């Protein structure tokens, strides 16, 4: 008998974030409101998790406060991901990290291997700012190119992720036809616990 089960690994959760979304005129029933609950992997990628955690809560810098609240998710690729976090220009050309304009790729230990994986958007190696994306399904070919640092957890959150994934896009295939607004974001440390998820592609073996 050939087994076709991917390798599972335990990842430690150090903090949780909640992002509240508003999508005006989502359907004939009106606006859509909902939250994504996100487990953050601060033991594996401490810098990357701290950057998201801090901007989620709001962090003051000489240029002003960096925060996700009242920004929009500017990019959506059907059946792949949606992208948010441009806290400076709002159109995907901006963003800044809490450490400076950008910071380096910490590591690629967390695989982009699960629906709901949250990872840093970038402009190539070592160019992380504040933009991030959330996967609608596993996209392991992105492993080694984007630093993953969190995971959407809970049925209600995953249901909301499906609803966001159903939003139609413009003719450019990346601009969502509905405006996806982050109306609030908060993060807190939690007592550490582990969740099981599919391994990164370099470790993933079918047993």
Tens digit of each residue's pLDDT (9 = 90 or more) over 39-67: 999 999 999 999 999 999 999 988 889 99
d(CA 80, CA 181): 19
In contact, 40 and 17? CB cutoff 8 Å: yes
β-pair type (8-27, 180-198)? antiparallel
Q: What distance in Å separates the CA atoms of residue 7 and residue 156, rounded to the nearest whole number? A: 26
Q: What is the mean pLDDT of residues 154-160?
A: 98
Mean pLDDT of the chain: 95
Averaged over 183-203, what is the pLDDT? 95
The CA-atom distances, in angstroms, between 100 and each of 14, 69, 96, 97, 127 are: 24, 20, 7, 5, 11
Closest CA to 103 of 128, 66, 130: 128
161, 116 Cβ separation under 8 angstroms: yes
User: With bands split at pLDDT 50, 70 and 90, how would you rate the model's confidence at 168?
Assistant: very high
Residue where the block lists tokens 């992720």: 161
Q: Is the pLDDT of residue 145 over 90?
A: yes
Which has the minimum average pLDDT: 119-123, 190-194, 196-200? Answer: 196-200
Specify burial of residue 71 (Cβ count, 10 A radius: 0-12, 13-18, 19+). buried
CA distance 143 to 151: 15
- Give the pLDDT score at 95: 96
Give the DSSP letter of residue 35.
E
Confidence of residue 201 (pLDDT cuts 50, 70, 90): confident
Tokens of 37: 């609950």
Per-residue exposure over 165-197, b if at least 16 CB sit within 10 Å of its own CB, e if not: bebebeeeebebebebbbeebbbeeeeeeeeeb
* Residues sharing a CB contact under 8 Å with residue 29, sequence separation 6 or more, in sequence order: none
Q: Which residue has the higher pLDDT, 92 or 2?
A: 92
Whether the predicted model's global pTM rises above the 0.85 cut:
yes
* Continuous segment of H or E residues that includes residue 120: strand 117-120
User: If pLDDT is split at 50, 70 and 90, which confidence band does 1 have?
Assistant: low
């Amino acid at each position: 008998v050939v087994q076709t089960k991917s390798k599972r690994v335990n990842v430690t959760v150090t903090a949780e974030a909640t992002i509240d979304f508003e999508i005006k005129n989502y359907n004939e029933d009106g606006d859509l409101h909902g939250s994504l609950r996100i487990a953050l992997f601060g033991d594996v990628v401490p810098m990357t998790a701290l950057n998201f955690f801090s901007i989620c809560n709001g962090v003051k810098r000489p240029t002003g406060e960096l925060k996700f609240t009242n920004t929009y998710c500017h990019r959506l690729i059907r059946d792949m991901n949606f992208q948010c976090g441009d806290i400076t220009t709002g159109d995907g050309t901006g963003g800044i990290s809490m450490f400076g304009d950008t910071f380096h790729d910490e590591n690629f230990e967390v695989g982009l291997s699960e629906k709901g994986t949250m990872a840093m958007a970038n402009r190539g190696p070592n160019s992380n700012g504040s933009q991030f994306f959330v996967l609608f399904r596993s996209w392991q070919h992105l492993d080694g190119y984007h630093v993953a640092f969190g995971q959407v957890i809970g049925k209600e959150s995953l249901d909301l992720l499906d609803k966001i994934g159903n939003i139609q896009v413009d003719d450019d295939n990346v601009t969502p036809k509905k405006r996806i607004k982050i109306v609030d974001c908060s993060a807190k440390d939690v007592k550490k616990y582990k969740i099981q998820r599919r391994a990164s592609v370099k470790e993933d073996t079918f047993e």
